[in-house]
Structure formats: C-alpha cells, structure tokens
Amino acid sequence: MYSASPPPPRRDFISVTLSPGEAAGAGGYNNSKAWRRRSCWRKWKQLSRLQRSIILFLFAFLAVCGVISYTNMGEQWKSLRKKSSEDQKTEPEIPGLKPANPAVLPEPQKAEANYPELSPQKHSKPLHVRRGPPNLQIRPPRRDARVKARDVAGKTEEEPGQADKEEKTEKSIISWRGAVIEPDQSTEPPSSIIKEPEKPSSVEVEDQKEPVPINERQMAVIEAFRHAWKGYKAFAWGHDELKPLSKSYSEWFGLGLTLIDALDTMWILGLKEEFEEAKKWVATDLLLDKNVDVNLFESTIRILGGLLSAYHLSGDSLFLEKAKDIGSRLMPAFNTPSKIPYSDVNIGRGTAHPPRWTSDSTVAEVTSIQLEFRELSHLTGDKKFQKAVDAVMKHVHSLSGKNDGLVPMFINTNSGQFTHLGVYTLGARADSYYEYLLKQWIQGGKKENELLEDYMRAIEGVKKHLLRTSQPKKLTFVGELAHGHFSAKMDHLVCFLPGTLALGAHNGLTADHMELAKALIETCYQMYAQVETGLSPEIVHFNLHAQKDRKDVEIKPADRHNLLRPETVESLFYLYRFTGDKKYQDWGWEILQNFNKYTRVPSGGYTSINNVQNPSNPEPRDKMESFFLGETLKYMFLLFSDDVDLINLDKYVFNTEAHPLPIWAPA
C-alpha cells in the first residue's frame, strides 16, 4: 500500500510599497529626536502598570535624597564660611591688657577613667569671659576646634580665632585650675544666671595664670571618689547615705544628703558627667515640701551650704532657687522665746521643736549656721536670714557663764541661757562655735570686731585651760575641762583647730597661732600614725606621764571606731597651703592609702569601721557618711594641689562641711 504524495510546498509573499519620500529618508528611522521620543513612548506604553509605578517611585525617592543631601551640604558650607569670617575678625592681642572679668574657677570637664600622661598646657591668650553669678566670675572653658564646631546655640562666648590655636594641640590634655582631662565632645553650659542682688560683692581683678596640671595623687583622689560614687549611684541613688556592704542605703532626712554634699566636690575634681547627673536629680527629684523633721544644723551645713557652693562654682540658678526654698523652710526654727533656734524643723508643716528629751540646743549647732544664712541674704537681698543668725551671735556674745572665752556645750531655747555649766571642750557640741567666730569675721570683710574679740579670747582660754603636752613624744594636745578637773581626752573633731589657727594667722592674727597650729597638726597626725591601721579613732586619751613601753596615744574600746572623718585632712590642707611644707602632703597621702586599704568596699563605696586597732579585721560598720565625699576627699584633692587659686583662701571661706562660700568684698 502506498502513502499519498505530499502536498506541494506553500509559498507566502509580502508586499511592501515604498513611497518616494520614505525611500529618501523622510519618514523612516533616521536617529532623529522625534523618532527616539516616539520610540521611547511606545516602549513606555508597552510596560505594565506595576512596572511603571515602580520606576516612578524610584525616581521620586532619588529626587528626595538629592534634595536632603543638597540641604545638608549647604548648611555645612555656610557654617564653614561663617567660621572663616569669624577667624578673620579676631582682634589682635594687646600686650599688658587684663581681662575685665577674670576667671576664678572653670567649668569642669569629664575626667576619663584611664588617666593619660600628664602634660602642662601652653599659656594662651586671655579669654573674654562672661559675667558669672554674683560674687564670682566663671572662667569659660577652652575647647578644641572639634568641640567648638559642635557647640549648641546659647553656649558661653569664647574668643574668636581660638580654634586655630587649639587645633594644633587637639590631642593633648586640657588643663584648667585643678583638673587635667581629655577633650570632651559635648559640653552643656550652666543655666542662665540670675539677676544680681543690689549689693553684690565681687572678686578682685587678677592676671590669669598658667594652669597647674593634675598630679598622680590628685588622680588617686579622683579614682577614690569615682569608686565611692559608683556604689552610691548603684545602691543608694537619691537617698541620704550608702550602706556599701549590704548594697543598700540609710535614710536620715530623705533629701539626698550624699548627693548634695558632693556637688561642689565633683565640680572641683572636674567630674562633669557625674555633676550633670546629680544636677538633674536636684532639678527633678529634690522635693522639699515633705512632712519630715530635719536637724537645723545638719541640713544647713550640708544642704543649704552645698547648694550655695554649687551655685557659686557652676553659676546655675537652679541651686540658688533650691537654697532659697530650703532656707525659708528652716526659718521656723527661730520662732522661740529667746530667738535661740530649736534643733529640729518640719520643713513641710513649717513647725519646729527641741529634741524630745530636752529643751536645750547645743551651742555648736546654733552658732554654726551663720555663714550659710548670711550668704543667702547676701545673694537674695532678703535680710531676714542674716538678721536671725546675727541675733543668735549677739546674744551668745553677751551671755555669762563663759570661762576665758570658752563656752559650755548647751543653751536653753526658752531662757536663752547656757546650761550644764562648767564643762568645756573643743570637741562635739562646741567645736564649730570657735571655727565660725573666725570665719564669719573673714566672710564679712574683717569688720565685725565682736566676732574677732570672742575668737581671740577663746584661743587664749584654750591655751590657759585645755592645752597640755603628752609623754613620751611631748605632743601638744587639747583636752577637756569638767568642773575644774582636766581630762586628757581629745576628740578627732578637735583636729579642725590647727587649720582654723593657721587661717587666722594667714589673715593677720598673732604669729604664735601658726606655731600652735603646727604643733597640733603633728599631734593629729600621730593619732593616725601610732595606730595599727594607720587610721585615727574617734577619741583618744593622751598619757601625761612617761611610762615604759607606752605610746602617747591610748584608745578605749568604745572609742576605736573611725567614721571617715575629714578634720585632720582639712587642717593638713590649710597648713600646706600656707607653709608649702611637703610633709603635710605626705601625711595626707598615708591617710588616703590606709582608707583604701581598710575601708574600701570592692563593689563600690567606702565604709566606716569599728576597730582601728585590728588590721586583720577592722570590723566594717556598713555606712559611708555623706561627709566622706563632701569633705574628706575634697580636702584630699586640694591638699595634693599646688595651685593656690584652686579655691583661693583669700576669696573663699569654707563652711564647716567644706562648702566654699565667697568672702564679701568691701562695698
């Protein structure tokens, strides 16, 4: 069977007709713009709606990015041009020209944890400074070019052209008075300064001096402070005192005593980051309208004094506003028949009362609040604060019952008379009365002669009734007198006296005060050196008679605790500042090392101890007093400094909690 034959192949033909014009290129493809536009449009129409939407979105996104980039580049270019024009306008330095408002203390910068090698900064041109708060001119910080470019609007004015000079030393350490730190990338200026009072005192005009770099011992103090602050921040933030061993806190008034006590210490040490943290707490969490009883004396020297000092050093009016608030809330204490204030005040209710067990107040407490309230009147123009505390001093000045200028320890708030007559001490309950006699006289410009007379008479009374010499090293010490019987007992608190005597001698009082100060500070040092841990007990008794194998210092079991007190370090600071004798720095260094050895808690903080005679077990008490940060470490840092202008003692007077307040200049 045969298959059918295949069909013949099919042929297809296409007919194309070319017109003469197209053949000549008039209508065909000729790479013209019109042809390309028609071709692109034809391809665009061939795309789906989704494809066209994606392409349009990408084009829009790129356009927005381009606009943003252009704007940023324009702003940078504008700022560079502005900076260049400012540099060209820098005024030439005029030889011998002094700044109108010289600096006293700079704004602190953040101190780095890893301390760099120290190197002094080259002397720079005098800077134009802004007005500081009343009684203090604040030095504007010197910043490198990078920080200057990032400063926000409203910062402290700086001298134009300074960036060129600082750019060359960008990697070097910045050194101000009392602080050497790495350049900081962000700084925040103090809040706007409040209006000056009618009669502000002013700091004397002086040449700006070569900054003094921080030394290794000061670095060790900064490290100790940071360690203590770490524990407080972690376990007791916003509370009164740290309990470092139990990693908790104790509350006294509920007003953040440690934090407020440490404000000016952080400023002086240059710890800006910690200072700013604490300032934010003061602004938002320091609530004074609360139903709580506070001790007039303690809240005045720690809270009011700390806030006033922080205001003067930083220039931030926040601290002055808080100081006015707490000062006003303490005023009900003076509503007594005798005008001798009660010991306790309820700052929420506006009521005051004596202790529950007596109607007496201690003499030290009612006569050691004057520096703070007087300064509050000086700043605010409200005389009620100074009037109240001056009345107390005038009343005590007129009282009988003194013994050659020495005062008893108690005074009755109803009668206004001394009680428990015949007992005289420079220790607890009387100590700071003598300190504030001298310091009020200095604060007021050395015009109030009654204060000076009482102070000079009291020192003569100390020499006559309380001064003795121990055996075998013949240490000069200050004992106590009770109804005519002398006791060779001396509180560690009495070690404020060498510094006070030296301060008086520096201010023109008799030279033998300085000699007595030198003898007493030797005794205070021996109260540390003759003890097994190298730390002083709270109270010592001195041997008056030579006995074989016995030291000058004896310690009773009830007195062998150490509370991290500052009085000896305080006096070492004054003696070194006025004499320049390096042994005082060495003694302070020994004390700091022993604090680190026996009281430092690894998790953060330092603790008071119960037994300074047992190096293997000093029996920690689990409490860090607020004055360890407010006083002890502050005086340590100042002791190790060779810069006399780091809290110049011709311009500042310390309150009894180590808060510096300005000395009033003559009107």
Tell me the C-alpha distance between 534 and 598, whole Å. 9
Tell me the C-alpha distance between 538 and 563, whole Å. 7
Beta bridge pairs of residue 406: 403
Going from the C-alpha of 515 to that of each of 149, 502, 512, 537, the distances in angstroms are 54, 8, 5, 25
* Secondary structure of 522-572 in HEC code, one letter for each residue: HHHHHHHHCCCCCCCCCEEEECCCCCCCCCCEECCHHHCCECCCCHHHHHH
Residues whose CB falls within 8 Å of the CB of residue 332, separated by 6 or more in sequence, listed in order: 345, 350, 351, 352
Long-range contacts of 525-530 (CB under 8 A, 24+ apart): 525/568, 525/572, 525/587, 526/473, 526/475, 526/552, 526/553, 527/490, 527/492, 527/495, 527/553, 527/568, 528/568, 528/587, 528/590, 528/591, 528/594, 529/590
- Which amino acid makes up residue 570? E
Per the CB < 8 A criterion, the answer to whether 545 and 473 are in contact is: no
Instruction: Give the helix ranges, DSSP H, for 210-368.
Output: 216-235, 257-261, 263-269, 272-285, 296-299, 305-314, 317-330, 363-366
Tell me the C-alpha distance between 480 and 403, whole Å. 12
Tell me the C-alpha distance between 326 and 319, whole Å. 11
Going from the C-alpha of 442 to that of each of 230, 500, 644, 653, 654, the distances in angstroms are 37, 12, 18, 7, 11
Per the CB < 8 A criterion, the answer to whether 511 and 563 are in contact is: no
Tell me the C-alpha distance between 392 and 296, whole Å. 14
Ordered strands of the 539-542 beta sheet: 489-491, 539-542, 553-554
- How many CB atoms are closer than 10 A to CB 44? 11
Concatenated DSSP letters for 72-90? HHHHHHHHHHHHHHHHHTP
- Which amino acid makes up residue 427? G
Going from the C-alpha of 615 to that of each of 178, 276, 534, the distances in angstroms are 34, 38, 9
> How many helices and strands in the chain, by DSSP H and E?
23, 22
DSSP state of 17: -
Residue 139 backbone dihedrals phi, psi, to 5 degrees: -80, 130
Tell me the C-alpha distance between 333 and 465, whole Å. 34
Apex 343 CA angle, 409 and 389, nearest 5: 85
Element (H, E) at 660: strand 660-662
Return the active site residues: 298, 431, 538, 567
Instruction: Give the helix ranges, DSSP H, for 89-185.
Output: 145-150, 162-167
Per the CB < 8 A criterion, the answer to whether 251 and 297 are in contact is: no
Per the CB < 8 A criterion, the answer to whether 252 and 626 are in contact is: no
* Secondary structure of 168-236 in HEC code, one letter for each residue: CCCCCCEEECCEEECCCCCCCCCCCCCCCCCCCCCCCCCCCCCCCCCCHHHHHHHHHHHHHHHHHHHHC
